[in-house]
Structure 1
Amino acid sequence: MLILSLTYKKSLEEADRFMDEHLAWLQHGYERGWFLASGRKVPRTGGVILATGDRAEIEAFAATDPFVTNGIADCEVTETLLTTAAPGFEILKS
């Protein structure tokens, strides 16, 4: 399991300018089967994506996020080895 943590470096107004492009990028991640869930941090300082797959491929894809390429956010990738999950969430386990 990979956790992608996006942290805004610019204002929410700047982030909103690129939101449609970012959402299209997210959709590609879901279509490729990499992304399992995503959403905004609260308070809204960035976002989080739960992903599965080859780390190098996902890191390379993360570098193409419009938020990253336009200097809106940094993306930190954390790999986890989940061994326990609630019923119905077994896909999260490594």
Structure 2
Amino acid sequence: MNCFVLDLSYLADVREIDALMPAHRAFLAPHYADGTFLLSGRKEPRTGGLILARGARDRIEAIVAQDPFTVAGVAAYTVTEFVPTTAGDELAFLTV
């Protein structure tokens, strides 16, 4: 199972982003619960966010297409796939 960096870039004013933040967080929750999403947070300066995810690429792309930010057209994802070969003890379960 490969890993992905999901790089979210805002396309709208942060006020529009903030209005959708509760829906975005609700969108994240089930993907954390099923183990697809591992870590996420906003960029500094606040121009978007990052998510570390794992799974099959087609599933990851389908998931990000359902993000309320994507649906509303206020943000866009760049999906970068990578094969983790080295990790600290906390993330060793991700390596091949």
Q: Shorter-chain TM-score: which interval?
A: over 0.9
Length, aligned pairs only = 94
Q: 1:13 aligns with which of 15, 27, 37?
A: 15
Give the aligned CA root-mean-square deviation in angstroms. 0.9
- Letter of the structure 2 residue corresponding to residue 83 of structure 1: T
* Divergent runs of 4+, >4 A: none
Shift of 1:52: 0.6
TM-score, L = length of structure 1: 0.95
Q: Distance in 2 between matches of 1:74 and 1:12?
A: 14
What is the 5 A alignment of 1:1-94?
1-94=3-96
TM-score (norm 2): 0.93
% identical equivalent positions: 46
Cα-to-partner distance string for 1:45-83 (whole Å, 9 max, x where unaligned): 000000011110111011000000001100110001110
